[in-house]
Amino acid sequence: MRKIALSFRSFLDGLYFACGVVAALFLIAILVLIVLQMVARWTGEVFPGAPDYAGYCMAAASFFAFAHALNRGAHIRVSMLLNAVRPGFRRALEVWCFAIATGLGWYLVYYATKATYWSWKFNDISQGQDATPLWIPQSGMVAGSVVLAIALTDHLIHVLISGDHRIVAEVVEQSHGE
């Protein structure tokens, strides 16, 4: 049983890291799109839809980065409050926060999936020059939302079982003398 738990743990950690890599690739894609648009402008050409594609990449990068950022302590947390209370109350606050965040995460997944489905069903396209079917960029939002909800559920279960979160390093703690 412990071996299964460890392999599942390494799978989840790998998933979160892979999503961070995908987010970085989308950021590189934004850079490439901006450079291509600049080159097109300098040569007198037109690159229709470049700002729209950059926006799609930005949304995908954001959503794919959420779970990885959560595990690295890059999300805003109320660490000062959590560090100021006694351990028993801290655990209750952590459970409450992760429970609310997990519920909201799965709520986001439900409605993002629903919106993407209806965009696909009605063949909804963007209003820009690119006329991209909207379900394509929305799929990145759905995938990132699912992984974020899984990460929040993972942290909630870990707090319930062990009494502490799995967040590696909190940004607030790093700023004190490092």
Is residue 66 pLDDT above 80, yes or no? yes
Band of the pLDDT at 78, cuts 50, 70, 90? low
Q: How many residues does the chain have?
A: 178
Work out the mean pLDDT of the chain and round it to a whole number: 87
Is residue 174 pLDDT above 70, yes or no? no
Burial class of residue 172, CB neighbours in 10 A (0-12, 13-18, 19+): middle
Provide the residue ranges of all domains of the chain, joining segments of one domain with +: 2-174
- 79 close to 172: Cβ distance less than 8 angstroms: yes
10-51 per-position pLDDT tens digit = 899 899 999 999 999 999 999 999 999 999 999 999 888 888
112-156 per-position pLDDT tens digit = 999 999 999 999 988 877 788 999 989 999 999 999 999 999 999
Burial class of residue 27, CB neighbours in 10 A (0-12, 13-18, 19+): middle
Rounded to two decimals, what is the model's pTM? 0.84
- 164 close to 90: Cβ distance less than 8 angstroms: no
How far is 32 from 49, CA to CA, in rounded Å?
14
* pLDDT computed for residue 178 by the predictor: 46
How far is 174 from 168, CA to CA, in rounded Å?
11
Percentage of the chain modeled with pLDDT above 70: 91
Q: Locate 127 and state its tokens.
A: 């209003």
Partners of 125 in the β-ladder: 133
Band of the pLDDT at 99, cuts 50, 70, 90? very high
